[in-house]
Amino acid sequence: MKIVVDENMPYAQELFSRKGQVVRVPGRPLPISELKDAQALMVRSVTPVNAKLIENTSLAFVGSATAGTDHVELADLDAASVAFSAAPGCNAIAVVEYVLSALLLLAERDGYQLSDKTIGIVGVGNVGSRLQKRCEALGMNVLLCDPPRADRGDKEPFLPLQSLVDHADILTFHTPLIKQGEYQTWHNVDQQVLERLRPGCVLINACRGSVIDNQALKQVLIHRDDLNVVLDVWEPEPNLDIELLSHVDIATAHIAGYTLEGKVRGTTQLYEAWTAFIGQPETISLSSLLPLPDVSVVNVSGEFSQSLLKRLVHLVYDVRRDDALLRLHIGDEGGFDRLRKHYQERREWSSLTVNCSNAQTAEKLRQLGFNAIYCA
Ligand SMILES: NC(=O)C1=CN([C@@H]2O[C@H](COP(=O)(O)OP(=O)(O)OC[C@H]3O[C@@H](n4cnc5c(N)ncnc54)[C@H](O)[C@@H]3O)[C@@H](O)[C@H]2O)C=CC1
Ligand SMILES: O=C(O)C(=O)[C@H](O)COP(=O)(O)O
């Protein structure tokens, strides 16, 4: 059995080679000739999966180690009777921690407490709902927008997008890219929305570039220098608009989901889906695969504060590292993809054990995702 896997998928070789011959390939562009005699293909978001890719192959299964599936034409796979599985939620914690790392930086730079702010979360799925919990733990006022969930009758108090635009100090997007229909998200943030954002608003996009009209954003940023913008995703990728980048406060190369845990979960979720598909189901424990992080234990005394949180968060991950790298390498041929391919290991906050002398501090840090322990 031949299994073709994207080379940017940690532990794929180790796991999939238990069941067949593994061939690792680049995802952009993917060498189609490798698919002719392959039974399974495991991709990432950079590989468009459509009729053209799968024609004249023996593929029975395609997996994508991603949350988003806008790169996959599901109807084409259905028509060719090729099974498909994604990895929902695999990297949700990573995206949440990216967003909070960025917010803690901006809050320190501009001298405010996040607990005084209202955050609007658009798209309250795996990422949005985890972000909601952590923002509530921080004492922020949280507004939610998710029309599909509202229409399903989910209990949360969902609001229309316009209401979030009018009331949020921070507006952050976590929807899939939906190109048309009732729940379209393509260019959800257009010129009109951008002009209407509250003065000093922080706008974050860590879902898909085209959820924000990037050309409209560039034009608006030229005359609205009060806005603060965090972009992890761009329209288009990898050839983003360098002038837009120069107006953005925090700019990264579509790496919000790139913790080691997030990537490995993506691989293990696909492996489990695929072994179930071939009738040999296996379950993989994440902790059996993960190495110890560089910094694994710290001691903390005293009460919880935003500045303590920022110090702990940036001990694990400081988004400025990725911002600096993108600005340095965006002019290089293939720079965007190279940064993603050779991404420096990044861990989730839960990888850090925080020994606290204060019980409330320990409780708060646990709510925020650290492995915090109260040591009397
Ligand atoms: N930058 C990165 O590295 C990453 C980006 N992503 C992107 O973020 C997206 C969200 O990720 P998850 O939370 O894991 O997906 P999810 O599918 O769990 O949640 C998406 C939520 O958006 C809602 N939604 C759909 N249409 C909407 C609309 N028109 N307005 C408001 N809400 C709408 C859905 O009802 C759902 O609750 C993914 O589809 C993917 O494109 C995900 C992971 C990493
Ligand atoms: O899971 C998603 O959706 C994402 O956006 C991924 O983090 C993107 O990573 P790649 O699949 O492009 O490596």
Q: What is the pLDDT of residue 376?
A: 87
Displacement of CA 202 from its chain's centroid (Å): 18
Phi-psi region of 140 (alpha: psi -120 to 50; beta: other; left: phi over 0): beta
Is residue 64 within 6 Å of ligand 2 at its C-beta?
no
Phi first, then psi: give them for residue 339, nearest 5 degrees. -60, -40
Are the beta carbons of 127 and 96 closer than 8 angstroms? yes
Active site residue 261: no
Q: So what's the pLDDT on residue 162?
A: 98
Query: β-strand 250-251 against 228-231: which pairing, if any?
Result: parallel
Answer for the pair 270, 41: CB distance below 8 angstroms, yes or no.
no
Alpha carbon distance 246, 103 (integer Å):
19
68 lines ligand 2 (CB under 6 A): yes
Q: What is the pLDDT of residue 36?
A: 96
Q: Does residue 321 carry a catalytic annotation?
A: no
The CA–CA distances, whole Å, from 257 to 61, 216, 261, 295 equal 24, 26, 9, 20
Cα(199) to ligand 2 centroid in Å equals 32
67 lines ligand 2 (CB under 6 A): yes
Q: Is residue 254 among the annotated active site residues?
A: yes
- CA 323 to ligand 1 center in whole angstroms: 23
Atom of ligand 1 nearest to the CA of 258: 3
Q: What is the pLDDT of residues 169-212, one digit of tens each?
A: 999 999 999 999 999 999 999 999 999 999 999 999 999 999 99
Query: Is the CB of residue 69 below 6 angstroms from any atom belonging to ligand 2?
Result: no
Q: Which atom of ligand 1 is nearest to the CA of 256?
A: 3
Q: In degrees rounded to 5, what are phi and psi of residue 166? A: -75, -25
Determine the Cα–Cα distance for residues 197 and 207; give it in Å rounded to an integer.
19
Q: What is the pLDDT of residue 91?
A: 98
Ligand nearest to the CA of 176: 1
Interface confidence: ipTM more than 0.85: yes
- The predicted structure's pLDDT at residue 275: 98
Q: Are 136 and 183 in contact (CB under 8 A)?
A: no
Cβ-in-10-Å burial (0-12, 13-18, 19+) of 128 comes to buried
SS3 call for 261: helix
- Which secondary structure element, helix H or strand E, spans residue 122, and what is its range? strand 118-122
Q: Is there a binding annotation on residue 146?
A: yes
Q: For the chain, which residues score pLDDT lower than 70? A: none
pLDDT at 308: 98
Catalytic residue among 28, 44, 174, 254: 254
Write down the catalytic residue from 28, 44, 208, 346: 208
pTM listed for this prediction: 0.98
